[in-house]
Amino acid sequence: MTRFEITILGCGSAMPTTLHNPSSQLVNVNEKLFMIDCGEGTQLQLRKYKTRINKLHSIFISHLHGDHVFGLPGLLATLSLLGRTGDLNIYAHKDMELFLDPFIKYFGNQFPYKINLVPLDPIRVHSFPLKHRIPTNGFLFEEKERPRHIKREMIDFYNIPVGKINEIKQGADFAADDGRWIKNEVLTTPSTPPRAYAYCSDTAFSTEIIPYIQRSDVLYHEATFAEAENMRAQETHHSTARQAAEIAKAANVRKLIIGHYSSRYNELDKLLDEARAVFPETELADEGMTINL
């Protein structure tokens, strides 16, 4: 089975603290690295956790608040120093140009690689709208459906030509030499279910995201506040830990990871307890945490 894991590089919110770094995560799919958000100091976190930065494939930015993008200029400069030559795609809201263009124009002519700013569209990594003060996207990293497993003994039994095996793995039935039509279910077993990881950064409580994240193996959902600060959560378009758990339960996900903690919390047990009261399979995000799917 291919590698599919997520490393938390930062799970704090906008106000800097010494406890947590701003938002950033790394998704490793078979040694191809995808970054989600790039808060200040992200490149130091990459080095701290001994990440092979040269394997970075693409960057996905959920929205253009500073705690999700201020680490980009430094990271882009470091990639240049490391001698990167391949293009780097950055998927973000179209206003990302306003933030990065001055930097690219001033420093970019020294870079040995090209930076492509790509407006968010449904691609192999799906994006979906969240509910925040500015345009904000969540991301769903989902494996493609794998071919069905052919039963080795059926190849000999029905004298199946090698050229037909791939078609059968894709779901085709088989016409035997004697004219019989052999159903695919007889020849194969179901494929391993594709794995999925959903990332919901800054967002108010919104059941509208549930269709996008249903039955994900792991859901990362912001939990900026405890329930006692519900009014503050509404004012700032953020979620409480309990609300994150309600989304996880309604979406029937396997595991919930909460993060993006407000700087007011030095201890996070309260957030965890409130979430687990609704959705027991909840864990706290922490820098260096690795989640294997």
Residues that are catalytic: 67
Alpha carbon of residue 39 to chain centroid: 15
Packing angle between helix 241-251 and helix 269-276, nearest 10 degrees? 30
Instruction: Show the CA angle centred on residue 170, arms to residues 162 and 163, nearest 5°.
Output: 15
For every residue of 1-68, DSSP letters joined together read: ---EEEEEEE-B-SS--SS-PPSEEEEEETTEEEEE---TTHHHHHHHTT--GGGEEEEE-S---HHH
C-alpha to C-alpha distance for 28 and 110, rounded to whole angstroms: 29
* CA nearest neighbour of 278 among 221, 199, 231, 211: 221
Cβ distance 267 to 236 under 8 Å?
no
Question: What is the C-alpha R_g of the chain?
Answer: 22
Strands (E), 61-130: 88-92, 115-119, 125-129
SS3 call for 258? strand
Distance CA(289)–CA(72), nearest Å, equals 22
How many CB atoms within 10 Å of residue 175?
A: 12
Structure tokens given for 159: 């004298």
